[in-house]
Structure 1
Amino acid sequence: MGIGEIFQRYFIDPIRYNQGYNVVNTLTYAIILGLAALGVYKVLKKLGIKYDNAFFRALIPYMILGAFGRALTDATIIPRTYLTVTPGIYFLVFAITFSALLITHKFFEDWRKVFLYFGWTLVGGEVLLLLFNLDKVSFNFEVLKYFIPFASLALAVVYLLSKRIRLVRENSYLFYAHFYDATTTFVGVDFLGYWEQHVLPRYLMSLTGTAAVMYLLKFSVLIVALYLMEELQESESEKELMDFIKMVMFILGFAPGTRNLLRMLMGV
């Protein structure tokens, strides 16, 4: 099998035919994500941008931007292309976010506020796009009948775990984000007939017969990752890198969870 055939089979066809992820493209995208995150970290450090609460809040609308855009694509409001489905939409939203960050940082003194408002403006554009295409969606608020109680229970579990486990307590926002994501997957797969696109979760679901296994998977991965990060951290500069990685980890939980929830609410 030549390189072209491999690329077609493992990267193009899964997007074209909505086949989900496979081992090859999953590992490749993970490597790309890691290298991109490291590159962004170095650029931001060179610019002197700190990962404080204001910066974190300013990123929220861009996370929603990608999640909302992906849901609008599922609803056929935005055309389905390689840049409007996963993983292409991650590259697109990253390009928009990083460009906006660099431009606002260069030309505005209060750049965080401008960066934040620009992000919410883009999200507002997506809301308008939805309002102009309401005929293409069939809202399904029955989703909330399942989501609200299970999400409340999941968040309560995180709260209780934070009382007993230091790593959970010190990084509770990560567990809240990923348990939120796990809840949307659990509700969608077990109650509403959706299917899981990712390789490992899909395997574990077939093994256990329920998407509730996502909670255990999320918890295990986070605990191991946070433990290793803590062991590897030896200096203040490394702490900055670990904080940046945690921000990326939050995005990887919050954004997919929001996309799942929006998609289910839009009935697509």
Structure 2
Amino acid sequence: MGLQEFFQRYFVDPIKYNQGYNPVNTLVYAIILGIAVLLLYRFLKRLGVKVDERFFVALMPYIFLGPLMRAMTDVGMLPRTYLTVSPGGYFVIAAFAIASLLVVWRHVGTGEKLYPLYRDVGFLLVGGLLFILIINLDKVNFRWEYFKYFIPSLLVAEAFIWTLSRKFELIRNNRLLFYTHFYDATTTFVGIQFFGYWEQHVLARTLIDLTGTAAVMYLEKLIILLPIVWILDVEMKDEDPDLINFVKLAMFILGFGPGTRNLLITLMGVGR
């Protein structure tokens, strides 16, 4: 197999034909993500931007931008290209977020004005997409019955995390991450179990096939999250706290982004 055929089979065709992820592109994307996290962390350090609660709040519009763009692409409001579906869509949103931060930083520096202004630029971008959504509402077939399954499932899932957080300090100290990823697991569970969707990621798809239920997503989240937060909080406790916070921010995005995408796609009646 030549290099061009290899790239076509494992990277182009899965996007072009909506085949989901495979072991090869999953590994490559994971490596790219790890490198990107380190490079972005160094970029923020050079700008003097602290990875704290202010930055997290300011970044939220950009985190929401990706799932919204993907849902609008799948429903036909935006053209389906390599830049509007994953993983290309994530690079586009990251580029917008970085460019916006750089522009704001050049104008106001790293003072208190940086964070609210950066947040407001993000809201403008979200507002632009929402405007396109509003003028194209005729293309959307909302499934309001989605909440009949989603809300009870989410309440049970988050109650489980709340119970664990009362008993285990590691979960209590990282409960936002666990709440977020159980939200993601819930959107996957509801979409697959009640609306006939399928899982695109290799590991999750394999576990669902083996167990026969998408409820296994909750177990997968625990198995993945627990060792990661233990390494960050215990093994790396003497490392730069900004680095730890940024890694946790990346983990939050990996839960909130796909979860919100799943919710919007199912709610907006996008085909299976």
Q: Which residue of 2 aligns with 1:222?
A: 225
Matched residues in 2 for 1:212 and 1:60: separation?
Answer: 28
What displacement does 1:231 show?
A: 3.7
* 1:13 equivalent in alignment to 2:9: no
Preserved CA contact (<8 Å) 2:52 2:245: no
Query: What whole-Å deviation, never above 9, does each CA across 1:132-160 have from its counterpart, x for those lacking one?
Result: 11121101110000001111111111111
Q: Which residue of 2 aligns with 1:117?
A: 120
Instruction: Within 5 Å, give how 1:198-237 maps onto structure 2.
Output: 198-237=201-240
Instruction: Within 5 Å, give how 1:139-150 maps onto structure 2.
Output: 139-150=142-153
TM-score of the superposed pair, with normalisation by structure 2: 0.96
What displacement does 1:234 show?
A: 4.8
- Unaligned stretches of 5+ in structure 1? none
What displacement does 1:38 show?
A: 0.2
Q: Which residue of 1 aligns with 2:243?
A: 241
What displacement does 1:243 show?
A: 1.2
Aligned length: 267
**Residues 253/199 of structure 1: CA separation in 2 closer, same or farther (3 Å cut):** same
What displacement does 1:111 show?
A: 1.5
Q: Which amino acid aligns with 1:85?
A: V
TM-score of the superposed pair, with normalisation by structure 1: 0.98
Query: What whole-Å deviation, never above 9, does each CA across 1:26-79 have from its counterpart, x for those lacking one?
Result: 000000010011001011112211111111011111011001000000101000
Q: Which residue of 2 aligns with 1:4?
A: 4
Q: Which residue of 1 aligns with 2:54?
A: 54
CA RMSD of aligned residues (A): 1.0
What displacement does 1:183 show?
A: 0.2
Identity %: 54
Matching residue within 160, 164, 171 for 2:163: 160
- Unaligned stretches of 5+ in structure 2? none
Helix, strand or coil at the partner of 2:78: coil
Query: What whole-Å deviation, never above 9, does each CA across 1:72-98 have from its counterpart, x for those lacking one?
Result: 001010000000001000000000001
Matched residues in 2 for 1:170 and 1:21: separation?
Answer: 32
Which stretch of structure 1 is more off in the superposition, 170-179 or 44-53?
A: 44-53
* 1:74 equivalent in alignment to 2:74: yes
* 1:32 equivalent in alignment to 2:41: no
Matching residue within 131, 134, 142 for 2:134: 131
Helix, strand or coil at the partner of 2:192: helix
What displacement does 1:229 show?
A: 2.1
Query: What whole-Å deviation, never above 9, does each CA across 1:210-248 have from its counterpart, x for those lacking one?
Result: 1100001001100011112234315352x3211110000
* 1:254 equivalent in alignment to 2:260: no
Q: Which residue of 1 aligns with 2:98?
A: 98
